[in-house]
A and B are shown apart, each in its own frame.
Chain A
Amino acid sequence: MYKYVIKRILLMIPILLGITLIVFFIMSLTPGDPGRMILGQGATQEAVDKLNDEFGFYDPLPLKFGNYIIDILKGDFGVSYRTQRPVFDDLMVRLPTTLKLVILSLLIGTIIGIPIGILSAVKQYSALDVFSTFFALLIASIPTFWLGFMLIILFSLNLEILPSTGLESWKGYIMPVGIMAIGQAASLIRLTRSSMLEVIRQDYIRTARAKGVYEKIIVFKHSLRNALIPIVTVVGMSFARGLGGTLIIEKVFAIQGVGTFMFDAIGTKDIPVVMAGVIFLAAIFSLCNLIVDLLYGYLDPRIKAQYSK
């Protein structure tokens, strides 16, 4: 098991290196140079050239890539062209905000979604099942930004009880977290329901009933753990995706998170920020994948047995 974890962590190195390489070369194909970006259109060509020289902009590409990798290994992700501040520091300022949004919404969404999904499956075709399936489909069909604007109109403009922007007070979290959580819950309701329905039909559930196991134990012990595998996958991937992509919510509510940070960097061709963002997301995705895979092993001994091979 430990061997497997170490192997997987070591495997992350070539993956991250490969991603860095690809993104680095794509970015170097785009026009523009750091000197002009930093100094602006009004600066003289001499000043721009001088700055470009300092950045190593005229070095051959392999050398530039090599230097970049060495810098990263030292923990230096370069300086943002736009803010003139170290990229890593900027990212770390934004990260807690996004983390809070993602973790809170995921937690709430999971706490709502999984139990309703279980109930829906256990009481298939009941009023609750019909209602929650309809609700899940409805939420899944509503675009996030539209829901965001509608809620802002309702709660901020008309009722004036919630702020429309920012996260200065706890009230600011209600709408953005609520919208993300409800979307998460909707997708988890559908997933949990179908996964549970599949497990409940299995022969071993009938075996459990035949030996007199209480219905509650059948649902929560025998069925749920078997049904959790696809659910764990989706929650894990939602977390990874959330860290890079709460962009729409951040834009709608003017929140300074990782999503906005990267989006603005792409718009202004702030290459060091884009690079750092991509590497960061790649690392998060690989880590989440690893954690999800380890949870598989915990949930299903057959998968665990494969890991120790």
Chain B
Amino acid sequence: MSEKILEIDNLTVRYKSGNADVHAVNGISISLEKGKTVGIVGETGAGKTTTSLSIMNLLPERTGRIDSGTIKFKGKEILDMDYETIRSIRGKEISMIFQDPMTSLNPIFTVHEQLSEAVRMHSNLSKEDIDTKVKNVLNMVGISENRMNNFPHEFSGGMKQRVVIAMALINEPELLIADEPTTALDVTIQAQVLDLMKNLKRALNTSMILITHDLGVVSEMCDEVAIMYAGQIVEYGSLRDIYKGDKHHPYTVGLFGSIPNIKDKSKRLKPISGLLPDPTKLPVGCYFQDRCPHVMDKCRTIHPKYYINDNHKILCHLFEEDKHGQ
């Protein structure tokens, strides 16, 4: 077994919103080996972005609060680090690609300024060396270096996302967190960006957390998958467990049922009816109870425990008889 680069254990994050507490992340655990990619899948509001911001300790200062849990990066606890330690990790050892390329770049600085700054914050390289680095990384993401002195508004959305990716990769991070890197892009550009990230992953042996709600992207990119619902991981397993296995969380089944299938013309899509529970008042028992087709009496009263089979975990009462978890 290779070394663990990231271990999240029982992470709980709350946001303060007025008088109410928003329970954004409710005890998730993920562990990631070096060079592997884990996909976090779930609908909007499931807590995916909150999880990734927690890893960099970038939650909004006043409103976001990590209630419990640990996040260990290469064995060291991120939540206990002082400002300078976490700062020196951000952008150097852990980088993040943000969701919206349109707003993720500062409009008043050129691409070169924004890329070279990422280098300068973590090294004492000379101007020439930084220049070379910037040019190299731009070449890597397919942007001509004679555009490096342009401002973000002079680029298209797809190119901006490449710049954002370039910025995340310029220091060759050990862990890359990509928060819906392709959501804001059209399909042709999506494919290009995914190819790019795959190649880079191979070239740099970067570990990756890929946040998405696109199951197609997950099957292309990931080694392991975490399905998130209402701040919990309801199912976790290898790509094989999730896409081929015979036991699934009803929510996972629902997610796959919501994908259009070209071969299956006659049938309608099967959307999961209902909405995520209100994160300020999560229900007693299973969080998925109101939308679950298999809901039982105990789902309304008892919070389920994980069914565990090797690396495959399912948080559902349906499988509890088979094997008891934690």
Contacts and interface: CB of A to CB of B under 8 A. Distances in A.
A212 B91 contact: yes
A306 to B, nearest CB: 10
A309 interface: no
Contacts of A212: 87-92, 118, 121-122
Contacts of A300: 107-108
Contact of A204 (B58, B62, B90, B103): B103
B324 interface: no
B67 interface: no
Given A301-B107, A301-B108, A203 B62 contact: no
Interface string B8-41: 0000000000000000000000000000000000
The A interface, classified by DSSP as helix, strand, loop or mixed, is helix
A301 B103 contact: no
B106 A207 contact: yes
B108 A213 contact: no
A301 B151 contact: yes
A213 B117 contact: yes
A202 interface: yes
Contact of B105 (A207, A209, A210): A207
Contacts of A215: 83
Interface in A194-237: 202-215, 222, 225-226
Contacts of A124: 62
Nearest to B57: A209
A181 to B, nearest CB: 29
A124 to B, nearest CB: 7
Which of A208, A209, A210, A214 has the most C-beta atoms of chain B within 10 angstroms of its own C-beta?
A: A210
A125 interface: yes
A7 interface: no
Interface string A117-143: 000000011000000000000000000
Contacts of A206: 58, 98, 104
B153 A210 contact: no
Interface residues of A, number: 24
B103 A203 contact: yes
A299 interface: yes
Interface in B86-112: 87-92, 95-96, 98, 100, 103-110
A74 interface: no
Nearest to B117: A213
Interface in B112-152: 117-118, 121-122, 151
A225 B151 CA distance: 15
A218 to B, nearest CB: 10
Contacts of B89: 212
Interface in A265-309: 299-302, 305
Contact of B153 (A211, A226, A302): A302
B167 interface: yes
A132 to B, nearest CB: 18
B107 A302 contact: yes
B91 A203 contact: no
A56 to B, nearest CB: 55
B171 to A, nearest CB: 8
B149 to A, nearest CB: 11
Contacts of A211: 90-91, 95, 117-118, 121, 167-168
Given A212-B91, A301-B153, A302-B153, A207 B104 contact: yes
A193 to B, nearest CB: 15
B164 A209 contact: no
B56 interface: yes
A210 B100 contact: no
Interface string B167-201: 11000000000000000000000000000000000
A212 B122 CA distance: 8
A210 B106 contact: no
Given A209-B90, A302-B151, A214 B105 contact: no
A211 B114 CA distance: 10
B121 A125 contact: no
Contacts of B56: 209-210
Contacts of B168: 211
A203 B98 contact: yes
B104 A203 contact: yes
| Listed residue (B105, B107, B110) with the most chain A CB atoms within 10 angstroms of its CB | B107
Given A209-B90, A211-B91, A301-B153, A204 B106 contact: yes
Nearest to A203: B103
B161 to A, nearest CB: 12
B107 A210 contact: no
A197 B218 CA distance: 37
Contacts of B121: 211-214
A214 B62 CA distance: 19
A225 B92 contact: no
Contacts of B117: 208, 211, 213
Interface in A35-57: none
Contacts of A214: 87, 121
Given A203-B98, A211-B118, A125 B106 contact: no
Q: Which 10 A-B pairs have the closest CB atoms?
A: A211-B91, A212-B91, A203-B103, A212-B90, A204-B106, A211-B118, A301-B151, A210-B96, A212-B121, A207-B104
Interface of A: 124-125, 202-215, 222, 225-226, 299-302, 305
13 contacts: A204-B104, A204-B107, A207-B105, A207-B167, A209-B58, A210-B56, A211-B118, A213-B117, A214-B87, A226-B108, A299-B108, A301-B108, A305-B154
Given A204-B104, A213-B121, A300-B107, 7 more contacts: A210-B90, A212-B87, A212-B89, A212-B90, A212-B92, A213-B117, A226-B108
